[in-house]
Amino acid sequence: MSFNKHLFLALYLLVNSQNLFGQKFILSDSLPQNSISLNSFKDGEWFEFRIHYGFFNASYATMEISLDSIGDRSVFHAKAYARTIGLARLFFKVEDYYQSYFDQKNGLPYRFLRNIDEGGYTKNTEIQFDHEKGLANVNDKKNKKINVFPIKKNVQDLISAFYYLRNFFDVSKIEENQSIGLNMFFDKENYLFKLKFLGEEVLKTKFGNIKCLKFRPYVQSGRVFNEEESVTLWVSSDKNKLPIRLQADLAVGSIKCDLEKFKNLNYPFVINSKFEK
């Protein structure tokens, strides 16, 4: 495979980094969902990631969240946007939009939208979740088709899962090398998102030295990844649980996604004065 093809593949994977976690596993019930407090983030939170492939600054991705409502339900409205830039955009244009509306109290998603253009490949879908009936109504707007699929208990979409994980798990009770699982629904299928906690690590970043929780999402090994443990995620260990870095080792080269900018965090962003190994 040529260098350019590896670059474009890397761009596709990272601007859709959530998709890396959507690989198939043997399904099981997700961890029980108790009454949770969605307080790791707040209305108006926004952050931006810079995505690299080797020395190439390949793309940017942003995520933001606001208060909204669906009928009489109070929800959070999360938006994610990713695009290639510079030379990469000349060869492989990516414009991806994702939106999720999820409950302010329990984090369950009600509505998910995906509108993407990746090098001419387009998709425009909307998913309505009915958790009481255990069904997902999938509207393929591009092909004008509507289908209904069964969903698992406490299922999440690609975007709501990100915010859900920032709040649901009590990190003080997670042991090193412990794995956790979460039911997800994407496109038309149920998946089990699984990741392992690797402990704490302090990262050098543009903001300073950040104490992080280190996780290993499981992916499928093969032509893209050397092994199923090729992706690593670092999340700030403060109350924000902000994603700091995601790195994926590919069959050739690696890609890295770093936090570039942020605003309206719910808690102070903790920066260590000294670097600790």
Q: What is the pLDDT of residues 137-155, one digit of tens each?
A: 999 999 999 999 999 999 9
| C-beta neighbour count of 176 within 10 angstroms | 10
Taking only the tens place, the pLDDT of each residue in 50-69 is 988 766 667 889 999 999 99
To which residue do tokens 């102070």 refer? 268
Tens of pLDDT, residues 143-193:
999 999 999 999 999 999 999 988 876 667 778 988 888 899 988 999 888
Q: 8 pLDDT band (50/70/90 cuts)?
A: very low
pLDDT at 37: 52
Q: Domain spans of the chain?
A: 3-263
Task: Say if CB 111 and CB 125 are below 8 A apart.
Answer: no
Q: How confident is the model at residue 252 (pLDDT cuts 50, 70, 90)?
A: low
Instruction: With a cut of 70, say whether residue 16 has pLDDT above it.
Output: no
Please give the DSSP secondary-structure letter assigned to residue 106.
T
- Cβ atoms of 49 and 259 within 8 Å: the answer is yes
In the predicted model, is pLDDT for residue 76 greater than 60? yes
Q: Which of 32-36, 95-99, 212-216 has the lowest mean pLDDT?
A: 32-36
Identify how many contiguous H helices and E strands the chain contains and give both numbers.
4, 14
Residue 20 pLDDT level (bands cut at 50, 70, 90): very low
Question: Looking at residue 22, what is its pLDDT?
Answer: 36
- How much is the average pLDDT of 213-229? 59
What pLDDT sits at residue 249? 74
pTM reported for the whole predicted model: 0.83
Structure tokens, 129: 């979740």
What separation in angstroms does the CA of 165 have from each of 43, 114, 184, 215, 252?
17, 20, 12, 12, 30
